Amino acid sequence: MAKKRIRLAYQKERALLSDMLPYELPITVSNRHLYKFILENLVHFSGTEIRWKKRDAALDEIVHLLFSLPKEPKRLSDSTILLGSKPITVKVYKCGGKPSKYGAEVPRFLRPYGFKIAHKENEFRELSIPHPRSQMKVVEFYDDWKELILYYCSQSEFSIRYPARVASSKYVKDRTHYEKLGSEEDLVEQDGREYENLRSFFSYATISNVHKFYESPQYHRCEKKYDRLYKMDISKCFDSIYTHTITWAIYGKERVQQNIPLSNNTFPGKFDKLMQTMNRGETNGILIGSEFSRIFAEVILQHIDREVQNRLSQPDKSLTHKVDYEVFRYVDDYFIFANSDEAEQKIVTEFQHALKEFKMHLNPAKAQRFSKPIITNITMAKDQIARLIESRVHLDAEEKIDPETGEVLTFGKIHVSGGKLITDFKAILRTTQVRYSDILNYTLAVVERKCRSVFKKFGKVEKTDQLREQIVLATGQILEFVFFIFSVEPKVNFTVRACRIFNIVKRFLSGFSEEHQNNVSKLIYDEIIMILKRSRSNEHVQVEELYLLVTLVELGKDFWLEESLLRRFLGLSDTALATGANKALSHFMLTVALFYMRNKTKYEGLRLELEQISLNRILDANETRFLDGELIMLLFDLCTCPYIAEDTKKAALKAFGVVDAKLASDIINFKDSRGKKQLWFTSWVDFNYSKALDAKQSQEVY
């Protein structure tokens, strides 16, 4: 093993990869290509100026479209910068200044791409992708204020998830590195660990995922020290946050209200303004889903933590932290350890008062109390599920001596009953009274680890025909169990876990006979078809099913959907185009459906229909299209989609003001630095399902 350390220079743009997008996106969507475009073309935001490398008219037009910049020649000029010691000519666009001097004003308030996901039973949550210009403003903000972000996120003794430092960007190929390497379960950069793939702009202390808290030394110590645990959370935390309160948290409410103009140019004032501009100027509520929103909330909640701790230490309360009580907060979830009902009530009351001052409230429906011995229902369920999987899924190995050669050979056998797994799993949920949603991610993680363990053990035993048959049957039974528990509540994080298991199984069976592979692929196909038929997609529930659609591609040529079923899944009737019944087809649904159908002849009619629906989405938006994050993403992804006509792409560009045919062609065929066609948000080509799943797994927070 080479003992070489490779250090990468600090790149502020890496925040595009880690801190902008919600976790709950289709697996084909990312910022990877946008990130490369930004770096290759020296796109840089600074104050009221945007600059990029001077190249050609196509690049200039792309920047204008991508960042919703009015085409005003007076705002555009040439300049020279040094890249190292090399002078580079760049274009500079001035966003500020009076319209009377520079022409049309650059719109401040942008529309994010909002989409809904299944959250709780009969309840949805709206997540948002910021407009590309908003994302670059966050990159600039991180770079300008990263030290103060770290400072104001290190004020609380209660928080167990907060940015501790700017994450290292390095790859070390030595034994020490592999000993310190972050595990698959670390979901953000954790302080003190080394990583092969950068997962977040900041390194986080001290807990990278809320479920890890239950296994942490802090939790176990408090179990012994205190008699009770009270769990609570903030009701609709991000929806409730009033953006101006970040200045209250840092400078005090009265002081800010007396000096509002002065506070606008401070760190919290600029953070407040940033959150407003990316959310159409809204001050009530912040975008949900992105890491930078969690950082914004963390600054406010750390102030509240300190305020509560200070009030509890006053003579009328006389409660000392880490003596009389301990509080742990993971984002907006609280864990309160205390020794008496009186102390617990004082703590909860102070949080109620402090949160109300910031226009937030606790959620009484989520409150839970546990008495000593402190063991939650979820903890009991986890323990029983781990033992269930261990006892029901295993490959037994036995050594035997070959009578002819005298060689010691290891033989294996395996038998798994999916029915018994399902029955025992349901019994555990019944006895512990936990919900599927509380335990599914953990269960699927245990199954995934067990599959890896069994498949690894299979590689060390004799590959008899009997064992091959047994392990194929066992794999089928495991998949039946996975589909049963997953289909009950197919949220995105559960879907990612399930898809990882499907992928592990498929890769393992690649060395088996075609018949064996087809049998398991047919099982996966049939189960996915059942889910798709059961959940006719709509604008609220889509991302989970879109994962399954991409998974079907991985099964191979014999497992393509009938067009009628695909139409039904998309919610399209035979007259959908004629009647205009296509408003619910979002960027996600359109691009993933086109990705799935590719250029297959059997889908030609539906593909042409979706092509027209995509164009209509842009045409019907009128002037709002220029500031709409979803339609900007749709435009750029249509331009690079290899499965639709160039005339459609040009019509979409024309709607955005690109009327010159040659310029439109140059935008459509724009090449990156390697001479390959530039991709934007959807990975139309060179898509690697396994790598995409691994990257997605590393982004999960809950």
End-to-end CA distance of the chain: 35
Split at pLDDT 50, 70, 90, the class of 230 is very high
Q: Tens of pLDDT along 160-184?
A: 999 999 987 544 434 444 344 444 4
Between 695 and 237, the more confident residue is 237
Can you say whether the dihedral through the CA atoms of 566, 571, 572, 573 is positive or negative? positive
Between 190 and 127, the more confident residue is 127
- pLDDT of 55 over the 60 cut: yes
Q: Tens of pLDDT along 621-631?
A: 988 899 999 99
Split at pLDDT 50, 70, 90, the class of 6 is very low
CA-to-CA distance for 341 and 339, rounded, in angstroms?
7
Q: What is the residue extent of each domain of the chain?
A: 4-159+161-206, 376-530
Lowest mean pLDDT: which of 117-126, 210-219, 346-355, 670-679?
117-126
Split at pLDDT 50, 70, 90, the class of 694 is confident
Query: The sheet that has 325-330: what strands, in order across it?
Result: 325-330, 333-338, 228-233, 368-371
- pLDDT of 191 over the 60 cut: no
CA-to-CA distance for 678 and 82, rounded, in angstroms?
26
- Cβ distance 657 to 64 under 8 Å? no
Confidence (pLDDT) at 186: 46
Q: What 3-state class would DSSP assign to 497?
A: helix
Split at pLDDT 50, 70, 90, the class of 373 is confident
Q: Which of 190-204, 403-417, 563-577 has the highest mean pLDDT?
A: 403-417
- pLDDT of 31 over the 90 cut: yes
Mean pLDDT of 273-281: 97
CA-to-CA distance for 43 and 52, rounded, in angstroms?
4
- pLDDT of 563 over the 60 cut: yes
Split at pLDDT 50, 70, 90, the class of 15 is very high
- pLDDT of 190 over the 80 cut: no
Confidence (pLDDT) at 196: 38
Confidence (pLDDT) at 111: 97
- pLDDT of 231 over the 70 cut: yes
Side chain identity at 88, as an amino acid letter?
Answer: I
Using alpha carbons only, what angle is made at residue 537 by residues 535 and 541, rounded to the nearest 5 degrees?
90
Q: Which residue has the tokens 């036995």?
A: 398
Q: Tens of pLDDT along 196-222?
A: 345 678 999 888 888 889 889 999 999
Confidence (pLDDT) at 227: 96
Cα dihedral 588, 593, 594, 599 in deg (nearest 10): 170
- Cβ distance 677 to 667 under 8 Å? no
* Paired strand residues for 72: none
Helix (H) or strand (E) holding 395: strand 395-401
Q: What 3-state class would DSSP assign to 350?
A: helix
Side chain identity at 589, as an amino acid letter?
Answer: M
- DSSP per-residue string spanning 47-100: TTEEEEE---HHHHHHHHHHTT----GGGEEEEEEEETTEEEEEEEEE--S-HH
- pLDDT of 122 over the 80 cut: no
CA-to-CA distance for 637 and 634, rounded, in angstroms?
5
Confidence (pLDDT) at 3: 37
CA-to-CA distance for 161 and 209, rounded, in angstroms?
8
* Paired strand residues for 337: 229, 326
Q: Tens of pLDDT along 458-506?
A: 999 999 999 999 999 999 999 999 999 988 888 888 999 999 999 999 9
Mean pLDDT of 615-639: 96
CA-to-CA distance for 445 and 700, rounded, in angstroms?
13
Q: What percent of the chain has pLDDT over 90?
A: 75
Could you tell me the pTM of the whole model?
0.91
Q: What percent of the chain has pLDDT over 70?
A: 90
Confidence (pLDDT) at 574: 66
